[in-house]
Amino acid sequence: MLARAVLFTFCFCIFAATGVHAQTPAWSADIGEVRQTAALIPGAKPLRINILKFAESRRTKNFSLKGAPKEPSIQARTVFQVVYPDGTVMVDSGMDLQVHKFFGRGVEEPYFPDAAVKVEMALQAARIIVMTHEHGDHVAGVIRTPFFNQLAPKTVLTRTQIDTLMHDPQMPEIRLTPDMAQHFIVIDYDKYYPFAPGMALIKAPGHTPGSQMIYVALASGKEFVLAGDVAWHMDGVRNVIGKDAPWVKEDIAKVDAELQWLHDLTTTQKNLTVVLSHDEEQRLDLIKRKVLGDGLE
Ligand SMILES: [Zn+2]
């Protein structure tokens, strides 16, 4: 009897150990749980989402998509504005000309000063600001700004984002001193975070340690996942293919799992649009089809 019990326990342990090991993906999320999280905070849902391009990067497509031909490709640099009946949420904050030049690595690339001013005005008008991730083209607008004291107290950074910005920033220009870091709202969460009515944050480390995706359900019932830089071009989501950009140190296994999840959303959730930060072709298409608003309010 004892032997049988020991044998059973042994087998169970082996099964449990291999089972857990085999079934733990590098990253996972459940859209049903995301929807539930986004519905937690009471209040009117957002009416629309706007996008604005304030700069461009010219990189051949093979960097955005492993194995793609070296054909010219425009990477838009963008921010998003989620519009509620009584205020706006800004997703990402743009960057100043100096940080833009860092990305050009000596090559002159388009920067649109009028659009950059509009980003600055929208940040000042926003009720709250949140970041897809802690890279310079997304966060510099709340760090390298004469309005730091006004913007930082209404900017939400995750603990991971703030740690990276303090200790291992993408570039020296966006490093946060301990004093600067104190001005931000810092949150920490494991999987999902209820951010605002109809909005939830989805933890998605991979492109950077502090990357997150932002789910938005509009009052109309339309749904969005603002996926940041999980992919740079929608072909990456369509074909589940990652980048080939040696200067970006990604957790490949996590990014691949995120690409697969986004791909599955695009094929199974007809009411949901996955939106990337840098796909110029997608930006033009979504504006043309009036899925996203063109420019900030
Ligand atoms: Zn980016």
Residue 15 maps to a domain:
no
Q: What is the reported pLDDT for 37? A: 98
pLDDT band, residue 4 (cuts 50/70/90): low
Which residues touch 179 (CB under 8 Å, ≥6 apart)? none
**C-alpha 149 to ligand 1 mean position (Å):** 24
**C-alpha 288 to ligand 1 mean position (Å):** 23
Nearest to 152 by CA among 181, 178, 111, 109: 181
Percent of the chain with pLDDT over 70: 92
- For residue 1, pLDDT over 50 is answered with no
CATH at residue 36: 3.60.15.10
**C-alpha 207 to ligand 1 mean position (Å):** 9
Residue 108 maps to a domain:
yes
pTM equals 0.92
pLDDT digits (tens, 9 = 90+) for 106-158: 889 999 999 999 999 999 999 999 999 999 999 999 999 999 999 999 999 99
**C-alpha 201 to ligand 1 mean position (Å):** 18
Residue 14 maps to a domain:
no
> Residue 190's domain spans which residues?
30-294
**C-alpha 136 to ligand 1 mean position (Å):** 8
Residue 4 maps to a domain:
no
**C-alpha 43 to ligand 1 mean position (Å):** 31
Q: What is the reported pLDDT for 21? A: 56
Instruction: Count structural domains, the chain.
Output: 1
**C-alpha 137 to ligand 1 mean position (Å):** 6
At 286, list the tokens.
Answer: 């979504």
Residue 146 maps to a domain:
yes
Q: What is the reported pLDDT for 153? A: 98
**C-alpha 138 to ligand 1 mean position (Å):** 6
- What's the mean per-residue pLDDT of the chain? 93
**C-alpha 123 to ligand 1 mean position (Å):** 18
Distance CA 220, CA 238 (A): 26
**C-alpha 228 to ligand 1 mean position (Å):** 7
pLDDT digits (tens, 9 = 90+) for 28-87: 999 999 999 999 999 999 999 999 999 999 989 999 999 999 999 999 999 999 999 999
Exposure b/e, 12-27, CB count within 10 A at least 16 = b: eeeeeeeeeeeeeeeb
**C-alpha 161 to ligand 1 mean position (Å):** 14
**C-alpha 78 to ligand 1 mean position (Å):** 8
Distance CA 258, CA 240 (A): 9
Q: What is the reported pLDDT for 102? A: 87
**C-alpha 92 to ligand 1 mean position (Å):** 10
Residue 23 maps to a domain:
no
pLDDT band, residue 2 (cuts 50/70/90): very low
Residue 24 maps to a domain:
no
Residue 272 maps to a domain:
yes
Percent of the chain with pLDDT over 90: 89
**C-alpha 54 to ligand 1 mean position (Å):** 12
**C-alpha 108 to ligand 1 mean position (Å):** 18
